[in-house]
Structure 1
Amino acid sequence: MKVINLLVGGPTANYPADLTQRAGDWVGADRGALRLVQRGITPKMVVGDFDSIDQQEFATVKAAFEGSVIVKPDQDHTDTQLAVKSIFERYAPDELHIYGATGGRLDHLLANVWLVLDPFFRRWAPKIKLIDRQNTVQYFLPGEYQLEKEADKRYLAFVPLMPMHLTLPDELYQLAAAHNDYPISWASNEFVGTSGHLSFDQGVLAVIQSCDAQPTD
């Protein structure tokens, strides 16, 4: 399976502890490119308008690799959107794992979570995951699916992003064709065992596997 990892500009405190050991090639968006280089990771592509790093930092990024530099031509798209588009068009990965997309500014968080609602990006929704220290967000298009539990996660949330009828037949808290007219988070559900099933008829569904934060003291 071909995996591409994308690091965007969110707070480093939200990174998984094993970020640098994640399998797959890396792409950096704006400040994410600098953070990859600082961690000894050579990205195969960097993307953005680079307004969050200075000229010396940008020179450091360019000197660290020989791949593509894609400069965002306008403000109609976010750095993350341009990176996602460029990754799928150039590399056609089976999965795209996005890091640094959570925490910090709420407008950035919402733009990242809602990215797959844009019809242009929706075709890639099932291949995209947002990953941080506590959460994995994955997206589904209408159909029937089996979910596998991540070993370090306890909780499940089902988030209809568009109107749909959602069925959860074998989770701890079940639903039978429950209709939602607006986005809602069916939060704090759990697996019964190591897998579960879901089905829905239309729209886009986000599923979040999460764990409680570990104490820092």
Structure 2
Amino acid sequence: MTLNKLVKPIVIIANGKYPSHPYPIEMIDKAKTIICTDGSANKLKKHGFDPTLVIGDMDSIKNIRDFTKSEFIHIPRQDNTDLEKVFDYCMKYGIKEVSLLGATGIRDDLALANMILLIQYYNKLKIKMVTDIYTIECIKGKNTFASFPQQSISLMAVYRVKSVTTKGLKFSLKKQSMIPSGMGLSNLSTASRFTINTSGKLLLFRRHK
């Protein structure tokens, strides 16, 4: 697989719950490149799509011969997850931005681990995780997001962040420190956009319509 075959937009599908919300389904429809971990390739095939690439240790995929339109990258290492293997492969080929589907549901431990990966890869790869409920991203610095009134917004710190300031949210923060807790959960957007300025990394959850 060469870089010119990894056409944007690139969607990665992990082996969690297959999407059912219209937003992530539309992302699959519009994707130019779909990369699956080996287990998720089976689910994608059941929904009528062929992955561009299947990456992993190949311990979960069934009937490889059915995937005549797909390329397989076998990486046998067992000290990282198949999703990490996919991220590392994207970085190897200079990919800067991906969308991640199927990263939650089924196993809570993997769902949490996948969210932690958003933080771990923050400086290497821009990852937008999309579930049936939320778009989840790791953010740092000043960022403005398109929104709508009453959109549910949550911020989560996984370590202490010294300063968080928000604009356009019902419960505003001004140079507020945050620690891992529930203090940033269940906020609401008040307009068509909102801004967050944070000195450290936070997980941002934006609920779909």
The alignment's TM-score, normalised by the length of structure 2, stands at 0.84
Contact 2:56 2:82 in 1 (8 A): yes
Q: Work out the percentage of aligned pairs sharing the same amino acid.
A: 21
Looking at structure 1, the residues matched to 206 and 172 of structure 2 have their Cα atoms a distance apart, in angstroms, of: 16
Is the alpha carbon distance of 1:2 and 1:70 closer, same or farther for their aligned partners in structure 2, counting shifts above 3 Å?
Answer: same
Give the length in aligned residue pairs: 199
1:124 aligned residue: 124
1:44 aligned to 31, 44, 52, which one? 52
Is the alpha carbon distance of 1:156 and 1:84 closer, same or farther for their aligned partners in structure 2, counting shifts above 3 Å?
Answer: same
After superposition, residues 51-130 of structure 1 pair within 5 angstroms as 51-54=59-62, 57-61=63-67, 63-65=68-70, 67=71, 69-90=72-93, 92-93=95-96, 95-118=97-120, 121-124=121-124, 127-130=126-129
For structure 2, list consecutive stretches of 5 or more residues without a partner in the other structure. Answer: 1-6
Contact 1:116 1:124 in 2 (8 A): no
Matched residue SS, 1:199: strand
Amino acid at match of 1:147: F
After superposition, residues 19-38 of structure 1 pair within 5 angstroms as 19=26, 20-38=28-46
Looking at structure 1, the residues matched to 76 and 182 of structure 2 have their Cα atoms a distance apart, in angstroms, of: 35
Deviation track 1:84-114 (CA, whole Å, cap 9, x = no partner) reads 1112322514x31111101111111011000
Deviation track 1:140-196 (CA, whole Å, cap 9, x = no partner) reads 12x111111169x82111112222121113311101111123355611111111101
Amino acid at match of 2:60: S
1:170 aligned to 141, 160, 168, which one? 168
1:11 aligned to 12, 17, 29, which one? 17
User: 4+ residue runs of structure 1 moved beyond 6 angstroms?
Assistant: none
Matched residue SS, 2:10: strand
Is the alpha carbon distance of 1:80 and 1:185 closer, same or farther for their aligned partners in structure 2, counting shifts above 3 Å?
Answer: farther
Looking at structure 1, the residues matched to 58 and 186 of structure 2 have their Cα atoms a distance apart, in angstroms, of: 38
1:137 aligned residue: 136
Contact 1:15 1:99 in 2 (8 A): no
After superposition, residues 160-199 of structure 1 pair within 5 angstroms as 160-164=157-161, 165-182=163-180, 184=182, 186-199=184-197
User: How far did 1:46 drift?
Assistant: 0.9
Looking at structure 2, the residues matched to 42 and 70 of structure 1 have their Cα atoms a distance apart, in angstroms, of: 15
User: How far did 1:211 drift?
Assistant: 4.6
Contact 1:150 1:209 in 2 (8 A): no
Looking at structure 2, the residues matched to 15 and 5 of structure 1 have their Cα atoms a distance apart, in angstroms, of: 15
Contact 2:41 2:61 in 1 (8 A): no
Contact 1:155 1:188 in 2 (8 A): yes
Contact 1:163 1:181 in 2 (8 A): yes
After superposition, residues 143-162 of structure 1 pair within 5 angstroms as 143-149=141-147, 154-162=151-159
For structure 1, list consecutive stretches of 5 or more residues without a partner in the other structure. Answer: 213-217
Note the aligned Cα RMSD (angstroms).
2.4
